[in-house]
Amino acid sequence: MTASQSRDTGPTTGEHRVTTGPIMGSSKVYRDIETPEGFTLRIPGRRVGLTDGGHFDLYDTSGPYTDDTAHIDVRAGLPALRGEWIRSRTPVNGADTQLAHAKAGTITPEMRFVAEREGLDPEFVRSEVAVGRAVIPANRRHPESEPMVIGKNFLVKINANIGNSAVTSSVEEEVEKMVWATRWGADTIMDLSTGKRIHETRERILRNSPVPVGTVPIYQALEKVDGDPARLSWEVYRDTVIEQCEQGVDYMTVHAGVLLRYVPLTARRVTGIVSRGGSIMAAWCLAHHRESFLYTHFEELCEILREYDVTFSLGDGLRPGSIADANDEAQFAELRTLGELTHIARAHDVQVMIEGPGHVPMHRIAENVRLEEELCGEAPFYTLGPLTTDIAPGYDHITSAIGAAQIGWYGTAMLCYVTPKEHLGLPDRDDVKTGVITYKLAAHAADLAKGHPRAQEWDDELSRARFEFRWKDQFHLSLDPETATAYHDETLPAEPAKTAHFCSMCGPKFCSMKITQDVRRYAAENGLDTVEAIQRGMADKSAEFGEQGGRVYLPLTERSG
Amino acid sequence: MTASQSRDTGPTTGEHRVTTGPIMGSSKVYRDIETPEGFTLRIPGRRVGLTDGGHFDLYDTSGPYTDDTAHIDVRAGLPALRGEWIRSRTPVNGADTQLAHAKAGTITPEMRFVAEREGLDPEFVRSEVAVGRAVIPANRRHPESEPMVIGKNFLVKINANIGNSAVTSSVEEEVEKMVWATRWGADTIMDLSTGKRIHETRERILRNSPVPVGTVPIYQALEKVDGDPARLSWEVYRDTVIEQCEQGVDYMTVHAGVLLRYVPLTARRVTGIVSRGGSIMAAWCLAHHRESFLYTHFEELCEILREYDVTFSLGDGLRPGSIADANDEAQFAELRTLGELTHIARAHDVQVMIEGPGHVPMHRIAENVRLEEELCGEAPFYTLGPLTTDIAPGYDHITSAIGAAQIGWYGTAMLCYVTPKEHLGLPDRDDVKTGVITYKLAAHAADLAKGHPRAQEWDDELSRARFEFRWKDQFHLSLDPETATAYHDETLPAEPAKTAHFCSMCGPKFCSMKITQDVRRYAAENGLDTVEAIQRGMADKSAEFGEQGGRVYLPLTERSG
C-alpha cells in the first residue's frame, strides 16, 4: 500500500525504474557552504512545510531522487559530488584517508560536510576521526556519495542490507531497493549479493548510491571457487577485494577474527555459527588446519584498503544466533582479536568499525558495548539488532528494534536493520521500508536517550502539531507520512477530518487534548499568565465555566468567535 | 492475510461469529489438579506438536475458543468455571476478596490455579497477593474467567484495549475483537466503549471472556450526562460503578489522583492532558472548583469494589502525552496521591494496580518504576508503553514496545498494548493482532531479562528447531505461526523447502548453520566428546575434511548415508 502511494515515475529507461519525487509533504532543500579550499558544499535536507507557513528541516539521506529538479538517469549514474575534493588532495605520508588527514590536523571537505549535516563543529568531527572514535566511509572511487559520519558522539545511523541470493531477485530490483531504502532513511546500504551478476549488481548500485556502500568480499570470492570454502585462498580473496575497491565500495566486512582455536568453542552452542562469513572461514580453517588467510595477511589487506580509503568493518563471525549463545566465550574471544586488528589497521591509517551481535537478552546488552569500547579503542560499534528474544519469527524487526534502541543508547554508532523476513526469506520492497522505518525510530529513540542536543526538537514539533490538531503537519513530520495518513483516513477519509478536533480512536466527545486548550483560553481572556490564570482566576471563572461546560467540546473555531 | 488464515467458523448463530479452532500446529490441553476443597482445576495449555513426536506446552490465554471439543455459543456465554469456588467460600470479616483471604493465610482455588499456570508454589502466590505486590482480578460476578495473576514476580502480562467509539464499530465486532485478542495472547482486555450500546457490548464481552475484563466507568457515566463533564456527580458515577460491578467487570480504572491543584501544572505542557478520564475529571474540577468526587468519595468506592472483589486500577490521568512532558511535576504529583489511595484501598481489603505512562524517553523510564514502587508500596505497575519517541505515528506499537520491554524488565507487571493505529484511529482486527503479538514479544523479552526461571526454555526450543532446519517446528513454536509460515512460503512455497537446509535469505550455498553440524558429525565419527574431537581429531581429519570440502554443503540425509 505505502509503496504504491509513492510516485514510481522517474525518467528512467526501459528495464530500469526507480522511485523518485519528494516524500509526501516535504521538499528537497540545500544549504550552500563555502570551504577554505574554495569548494561549495551543498548540504541536503528534507524540508517539511507546515500549515502555518513555517517549515521544519530534517536530516536527509535520499540523495537527488527526492529532488524534483534533479535529472535521474540510472544508466549514467549520479554526479561525482566529491570528484574535485579528491583530486585536489595531497596525501599525508602516502596516505589519502580521512584518518590520515585527521591525524595530520586537516579538516577535509568531507568532515566539514558531515559537521554541517549534524550541526556540529568541523574541528570536533576531525578530532573524533583522528582518535578513531568516528569513521567517514568514503572510497576515493565512490565520488557520488554524500559524506556521512559514524560514531558514538553523532546521530545514530542505520544500515539497510540489500542484495540478491541464488534463489531470487534481479539487478534492477536491487538498485530500486537501494533507492527505496535511502528514501526512507538508510544512512548506508550493504550489497550482500551472493547470486548471479554480483559484479554488475554492485556496479549499478555504486554508481547510483548517494550513501556509502558496504560489502562482504568473501561472498564473491566463494562464488569464484564454486562455493567450496576449502578452495578459497589469499590470492582469490585479495583479487576480489581489489576488484571491489576499484568499483568504489566504501566499507568491507572482514571476518579476520575467526581463529582456528575459536571454532571448537562453538561446538556446544544451541545455534553454532550463524554468520555466513564466519562459517565460511571456520570451514576453511578446519579444512586446512591453519589460521585464516584474513588473519595471516591482515597487514597486506590494510595496505590495499588504505590505497582507496576503504573502511574496515571487522565482522563478528562468531556472533550468537540465539539467546542461549549470547555473550559466550566464542563471541568474546573473537572480539578480543578484533581489538588487536583494530590497532594494526589504525597504524596503517585505515578507518575501522566493529560489528556486533546478534541475539542478546536485554540484561546482557550493555556488556557488549563496554567490552567493545575497552578492547577496540572505542572504534564505532556496528550491531545487528540485537534480537532480544527468539520466539517471534515474522516480527524480528521488532524483537531487534528493542535491542537496537538500547544498544544505540549505550553507545553503538550504527544499527544494521532487520526486516520482518529475517530467518524466513529474502526481504521484498515493503519489508525493506518496514525495516528502515523501524530502525530510524529506534535510532532516534537512542538519540533522545543519549541526549543528542537537537534530537528532541523533532518530537516537540510533531507533538505540538498533534496537540493543535494540525493533522497534516503531524503526518508530514512523521517518519512515514504515507502510512500515517492512510491509517487516519481508513476511518475518517473526508477532508474536514484533517482539521477536526478528534479522531475515530476516541470520537468527538472524548478527545482529551481540548481541556488544556480551554484552560489556556481562560488565561488569554484574563490577560494573565496561564498558570496564574487558573490559580487566581479559576474560582471566579468556575461558575461561568460551569455554564459553559458543554462548550468544552466545541471546536476552537467557534470559541474564537 | 493472517486473519483470513484463521478458521473463522465456529457454531455461532446468525449475527454472531467468532474465531474458533486451534492455532496452527497447536492443540488445546488441560492439566487436572485436585484442590483440598475437592475442586478439580483444569489448567489450560497450548500444546505445540513437534515433528519428532515430542511436544512443547505454552501458557494459554485463549479459553475454550481454541478447543476443538468445546461447544461455543456466544448467546449462552462460557461455562461458570469459578461458580462453585465462589459459592463455597466464607468471607473473612465480611470481605470475600483475594486480598482478604490471602491476608488470612488462605490459599484460594484462584491462587492455586495461577500457581499451576506459572509453575510456581501456591503459597508464594498467596504471600505476594497478601502484601499487595500481586493482584488476581476476579469479580465474583465474572465466574467465566480463568484466574490469572499480575505482579512483578510473575510472567509479565499484557492487556488489549477494545471497545467502540461514537464514530465506528459494533457489539459483534467488539466481541470478536475480545476472542481474537485472547487467541493471540492478551492476558486481560479492557472494554473502552464510548459509543452506543455500552451496557450491551460489555455484557456480551463479559459473558464470553475467558480473561479478566477492565473498564473506565467514567466513560459510561459521561454518556449518561450527555457528554457534559460539569454535570457529572458522585451519584451518577456510583450508580454506573455498581451497574458494572454487577455485570462482572474485574478491574476498573479510576482517575482519583487528578486533584484540582494539579491541573495548573499541565498548563505549560506541550500536550497538556492526554488521558480521556484525566481530562474529564480536570474539566469537572475546574467547573466546580472542588476536588473530584472520585477523591472525596474514595472510601465509599472501596466499599463497593470490596463487595465484588473488583480490583482498582488507579489511573494516571496526568500521564505525559509527549517526550517533552515526561516525568514532570504534574505526573509525579498525581503518582504521590495514587500512593495514598493505594494504602486506603488495601486497608479495605481491595486489590490495587497503578497505571503508568505514556510517552517517556528511554533514559527516564527507570525513574517511573522506582517512584511507583516507593510511593505505592510495590502495587503492580500497569503501563501504557511507554512510547520512546513521538516521531513515528503508524508505528507506535514499535516505539512503545521498545519502552514496554524495558519497563517490564525493570518491574512493570502488566503492559497495555498499543496498536499501529495509536493517535490515528480506532484499531481494526488486524491492528489488534499486531498489537497483541508485538506486546507478547516485548513481555517475553522482559521475562528473559528478569531471569524468569522458565522463560528461556521457549527461546531454546525454537532456536534448536531453527538450527536443525525443522521449519514447521520453528513456525509452530512461534508467537504467530501463520505469519511465519506465510513469510517463508512467499519465496519457497514447495513442501520440500520445509525440510531444506536453507531459505531464500542466503540460498543453498550460504547457509551458515551447517558448519557446526559438520563439526559435530566429525565428533560422532570419532566417538569423541565434541570439543575434544575438534581439538585432537582436527589435525588428522583436516586432510579428509579438505577432500570433503565440497561436501560441507550436502544435506545431512546424504551425509548420514
Residue A559 has pLDDT above 50, yes or no: no
Residue B520 has pLDDT above 70, yes or no: no
* Mean of the per-residue pLDDT values of chain B: 88
> Hey, of A503, A510, A542, which one would you mutate to test binding to chain B, going by the most B CBs within 10 A of its CB?
A510
| CB proximity B551 to A under 8 Å | no
Is A199 annotated for ligand binding?
A: no
> Hey, of B192, B274, B360, B487, which one would you mutate to test binding to chain A, going by the most A CBs within 10 A of its CB?
B487
With CB atoms and an 8 Å threshold, state whether B289 touches A539: yes
What per-residue confidence (pLDDT) applies to A523?
Answer: 53
Is B275 annotated for ligand binding?
A: yes
From CA B498, how far away is CA B323, in angstroms rounded?
Answer: 45
What per-residue confidence (pLDDT) applies to A168?
Answer: 57
* Burial degree of A441 (CB within 10 A; 0-12, 13-18, 19+): buried
Q: Please check whether residue A552 is in contact with residue A514, taking contact to mean a CB–CB distance below 8 angstroms.
A: yes
Q: How many CB atoms lie within 10 A of CB B7?
A: 11
Give tens-digit pLDDT for B280-298: 999 899 889 899 999 999 9
From CA A514, how far away is CA B68, in angstroms rounded?
Answer: 49
**Of the candidates B283, B324, B523, which has its C-beta nearest A459's C-beta?**
B324
What per-residue confidence (pLDDT) applies to A2?
Answer: 36
| CB proximity B456 to A under 8 Å | yes
**Of the candidates A272, A478, A506, which has its C-beta nearest B467's C-beta?**
A272
| Coil/strand/helix, residue A291 | coil
Predicted confidence band of residue A508 (pLDDT cuts 50, 70, 90): low
Within 8 A of A320 by CB-CB distance, chain B residues are none
Pick B504 or A429 by higher pLDDT. Answer: A429
Q: How many CB atoms lie within 10 A of CB B561?
A: 6
Residue A112 has pLDDT above 80, yes or no: yes
What per-residue confidence (pLDDT) applies to A163?
Answer: 83
Chain B (344-403) residues lying within 8 Å, Cβ to Cβ, of chain A: 361-363, 388-395, 397-399, 401-402
Predicted confidence band of residue B557 (pLDDT cuts 50, 70, 90): very low
Q: Label each residue of A386-423 as H, E or C.
A: CECCCCCCCCHHHHHHHHHHHHHHHCCCEEECCCCCCC
> pTM to 2 decimals?
0.92
- Among A219-223, B5-9, B43-47, B272-276, the range scoring the smallest mean pLDDT is B5-9
From CA A181, how far away is CA A176, in angstroms rounded?
Answer: 8
| CB proximity A538 to B under 8 Å | yes
Give tens-digit pLDDT for B373-412: 999 999 999 999 999 999 999 999 999 999 999 999 999 9
From CA A252, how far away is CA B451, in angstroms rounded?
Answer: 37
Predicted confidence band of residue A435 (pLDDT cuts 50, 70, 90): very high
Q: Please check whether residue B156 is in contact with residue B414, taking contact to mean a CB–CB distance below 8 angstroms.
A: yes
* Integer CA distances (angstroms), B547 to A116, B543, B550, in order: 56, 7, 8
- Mean pLDDT for A337-366 is 98
Pick B429 or A492 by higher pLDDT. Answer: B429
Within 8 A of A460 by CB-CB distance, chain B residues are 270, 322-324, 390
| CB proximity B494 to A under 8 Å | no
Chain B (94-113) residues lying within 8 Å, Cβ to Cβ, of chain A: none
What per-residue confidence (pLDDT) applies to A37?
Answer: 92
Indicate if ipTM > 0.95.
Answer: no
Residue A461 has pLDDT above 60, yes or no: yes
Give tens-digit pLDDT for A404-422: 999 999 999 999 999 999 9
Give tens-digit pLDDT for A377-386: 999 999 999 9
From CA B316, how far away is CA B385, in angstroms rounded?
Answer: 13
With CB atoms and an 8 Å threshold, state whether A504 touches B165: yes
Give tens-digit pLDDT for A58-88: 999 999 999 999 999 999 999 999 999 999 9
Pick A177 or A538 by higher pLDDT. Answer: A177
Is A151 annotated for ligand binding?
A: no
Burial of A216-236, coded b for 16+ CB within 10 Å and e otherwise, reads: bbbbbbbbeeebbbbbbeeeb
| CB proximity B423 to A under 8 Å | yes
Residue A522 has pLDDT above 60, yes or no: no
Predicted confidence band of residue A556 (pLDDT cuts 50, 70, 90): very low
Residue whose C-alpha cell reads 519525487 in the numeric block: A21
Is A538 annotated for ligand binding?
A: no
**How many whole angstroms from its chain centre is CA A224?**
31
Residue A221 has pLDDT above 50, yes or no: yes
With CB atoms and an 8 Å threshold, state whether A425 touches B388: no
> Hey, of B223, B273, B407, B459, which one would you mutate to test binding to chain A, going by the most A CBs within 10 A of its CB?
B459
Predicted confidence band of residue B88 (pLDDT cuts 50, 70, 90): very high
Residue B199 has pLDDT above 80, yes or no: yes
Predicted confidence band of residue A538 (pLDDT cuts 50, 70, 90): very low
Within 8 A of B520 by CB-CB distance, chain A residues are 267
Is B93 annotated for ligand binding?
A: no
Order the strands of the B26-34 sheet from edge to edge. B26-34, B40-49, B55-59
The percent of residues in chain A predicted with pLDDT above 90, rounded, is: 76
Is A503 annotated for ligand binding?
A: yes
> Hey, of B263, B441, B517, which one would you mutate to test binding to chain A, going by the most A CBs within 10 A of its CB?
B441
What per-residue confidence (pLDDT) applies to A545?
Answer: 45
Within 8 A of B167 by CB-CB distance, chain A residues are 491-492, 504, 507-508
* Mean of the per-residue pLDDT values of chain A: 88
Give tens-digit pLDDT for B149-168: 999 999 999 999 998 765 55
What per-residue confidence (pLDDT) applies to A514?
Answer: 66
- Mean pLDDT for B356-376 is 98
Is B512 annotated for ligand binding?
A: no
From CA B89, how far away is CA B440, in angstroms rounded?
Answer: 34
Residue A525 has pLDDT above 80, yes or no: no
Chain B (45-104) residues lying within 8 Å, Cβ to Cβ, of chain A: none
Residue B499 has pLDDT above 80, yes or no: no
